[in-house]
Amino acid sequence: MVAQGNSRQAHFVAIIGATGCGKTTELKKRLNAKRRARTLIWSPKESLDNYSAYYPGAISTRSVAEVLQVVKAAGKGGFHVVFVPTLNQKKDMAAFDVFCKIALAAGNLTLVVEELHSVTQASNAPDGWRKINFMGRGFGVHVFGLSQRPASCDKAFMGSLSFLHVGRLPHPPDQKAIADVIGIDRAEIGNLTGYQAIQKDFQTGKITRKA
């Protein structure tokens, strides 16, 4: 069922940058700004990121079957589920496909995907993720995609963004990929240091530089 009254609220946010540039801080600031009762988190580095502690009562699992069980049991109620993948790319891409289909079927939730580049490619992505990009807004799904390697992220997601935050990126192909999306010179991305960042609101076209 399409989420009534949620399509305008739903948004797709990319948080991009090298390790240590403040991606998690930016994410949590945005999650805090609009806390929702239903959250699914894809967390390859859960031992470091510890999303389970961020959401008291969150269920951490390595089983997509358990994710489905929790979501179905919740019905229209709340849940916070952290899925920890195997780090085997073939297995993870298959699991990510199912994970995204569960998110879309559930609707009215926040979907956080850490290390997006590990389960998508520039020209290809699992079917469930493509459906999230094409239909997620209509089902009230808020998406946060985080990545160190934007050049490897799928074009469907990068083309669906309502907001982009980018910090330090050491690799020229990644710098170019993001500069092209924002519409600025690649050197601006390459010159970012520390916690500096550039943000673009695609709904207004406004670009902000953060020192």
**pTM score:** 0.93
pLDDT of residue 124: 86
pLDDT of residue 5: 36
103: its two tokens:
């998110």
Domains of the chain: residue spans and CATH: 12-163 (3.40.50.300)
**pLDDT mean for each 10 residues of the chain (211 residues):** 39 95 92 92 94 92 98 97 95 97 97 95 92 93 95 91 96 95 96 97 95 88
